[in-house]
């Protein structure tokens, strides 16, 4: 039996955090030296987007940790600890965090990414109106822009399809205008549709 299949069978093809069976996949809980059944979990798209900070933390969704934090799977325990730490300003999350015991090795693993030092806020790419931008979106320029190092002038109203989000900088996206890939500031764009 393949490794991924073993983990999916362990979870009965359900998210090991919230119990959803919709769009689940195996997630390797970082950091990892060697992938194993203990450091991989099955998670749904909703949980994964929030774990990976691609979506705002929905505290109502994470009340599921009240049960899943007791899992015997170390990866589930570590992710539960990280999420509860990010939500620790909420009294229910702080109470659960107080109850969750991790041995020294698991606690070191849980702290290794530094996620516990962040609060529930998430830095997302947002357009001029505060709408969240996703990879592949189509945007419209809200201002005419001169492209540095080029004679190209991107006019206000220009449509840019299939944008790329610039990693580690939520104020920038990349898009092609007249065949040239340029970096565009998110404050000068509006998501289309």
Which own/partner contact pairs does 144-149 have at CB distance under 8 Å and 24+ positions apart? 145/184, 145/188, 147/177, 147/180, 147/182
- What order of strands is seen across the sheet that includes strand 172-177? 164-165, 172-177, 180-185
Domain that holds residue 161: 139-191
Whether 99 is covered by a domain: the verdict is: yes
CATH of the domain at 162: 2.30.30.40
Number of domains in the chain: 2
Whether 164 is covered by a domain: the verdict is: yes
**What is the tens place of the pLDDT at every residue in 125-143?**
888 888 888 888 999 989 8
One domain, residues 41 and 94: yes
**What is the tens place of the pLDDT at every residue in 18-35?**
999 999 999 999 998 889
| Last residue within a domain, chosen from 85, 117, 149 | 117
Whether 125 is covered by a domain: the verdict is: no
Assign 40 a pLDDT band (cuts: 50, 70, 90).
very high
One domain, residues 145 and 102: no
One domain, residues 165 and 71: no
């Amino acid at each position: 039996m393949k490794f991924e299949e073993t983990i999916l069978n362990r979870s009965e093809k359900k998210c090991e955090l919230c119990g959803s069976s919709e769009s689940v996949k195996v997630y390797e809980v970082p950091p990892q030296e060697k992938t194993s059944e203990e450091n991989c979990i099955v998670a749904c798209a909703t949980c994964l987007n929030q774990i990976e900070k691609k979506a705002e933390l929905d505290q109502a969704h994470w009340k599921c940790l009240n049960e899943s934090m007791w899992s015997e799977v170390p990866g589930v325990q570590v992710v539960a600890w990280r999420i509860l730490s990010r939500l620790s300003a909420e009294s229910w999350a702080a109470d659960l965090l107080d109850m969750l015991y991790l041995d020294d090795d698991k606690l070191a693993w849980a702290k290794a990414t530094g996620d516990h030092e962040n609060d529930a806020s998430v830095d997302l790419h947002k357009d001029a109106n505060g709408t969240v931008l996703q990879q592949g979106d189509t945007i419209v320029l809200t201002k005419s822009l001169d492209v540095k190092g080029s004679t190209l002038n991107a006019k206000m109203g220009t449509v840019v399809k299939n944008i790329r989000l610039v990693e580690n900088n939520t104020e920038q996206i990349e898009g092609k205008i007249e065949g040239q890939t340029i970096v565009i500031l998110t404050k000068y764009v509006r998501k289309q549709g």
